């Protein structure tokens, strides 16, 4: 990849992955609080922090899956519209 293309990809992906970055920050925060609760020996706080960390991790996975699904839809429509691409409108794509 050319450096120009890498910069362009970075500029396009950063806003798309912003919710994922937020959820990863939330997950890291929860793990830090979990370590602090473990150091204090507070079993109730440990279970609560573990549950919240798992919820944050599920949110991250959902955000990644959603981003991939939206990207797939965008690519499929672009391929269907461009007759020069394999499987394009002139190529007779099958579903």
- What pLDDT is stored for residue 85 in this prediction? 63
Among 23, 25, 17, 32, smallest CA distance to 59 is for 23
Cβ atoms of 30 and 53 within 8 Å: the answer is yes
Among 16, 15, 17, 35, smallest CA distance to 25 is for 17
| Residues composing the chain | 95
pLDDT, greater one: 41 or 88 = 41
- What pLDDT is stored for residue 78 in this prediction? 79
Q: Is the pLDDT of residue 87 over 80?
A: no
- What pLDDT is stored for residue 57 in this prediction? 82
Interatomic CA distance for residues 58 and 86, integer angstroms? 36
pLDDT, greater one: 92 or 57 = 57
Interatomic CA distance for residues 36 and 39, integer angstroms? 5
Q: Percentage of the chain surpassing pLDDT 70?
A: 86
Could you give the angle at which helices 43-81 and 18-40 cross, rounded to 10 degrees? 170
pTM above 0.85, yes or no: no
- Read off the pLDDT of residues 42-75 as tens digits, 9 standing for 90 and up: 888 888 888 888 887 888 788 888 888 888 888 8
Domain ranges of the chain: 18-81
Task: Determine if residue 42 is left, alpha or beta; phi over 0 gives left, psi from -120 to 50 gives alpha, anything else beta.
Answer: beta
């Amino acid at each position: 990849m050319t450096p120009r293309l890498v910069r362009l990809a970075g500029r396009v992906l950063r806003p798309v992955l912003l919710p994922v970055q937020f959820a990863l920050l939330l997950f890291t925060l929860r793990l830090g609080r979990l370590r602090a609760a473990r150091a204090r020996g507070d079993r109730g706080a440990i279970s609560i922090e573990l549950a919240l960390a798992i919820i944050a991790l599920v949110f991250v996975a959902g955000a990644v899956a959603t981003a991939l699904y939206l990207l797939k839809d965008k690519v499929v429509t672009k391929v269907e519209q461009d007759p020069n691409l394999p499987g394009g409108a002139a190529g007779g794509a099958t579903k």
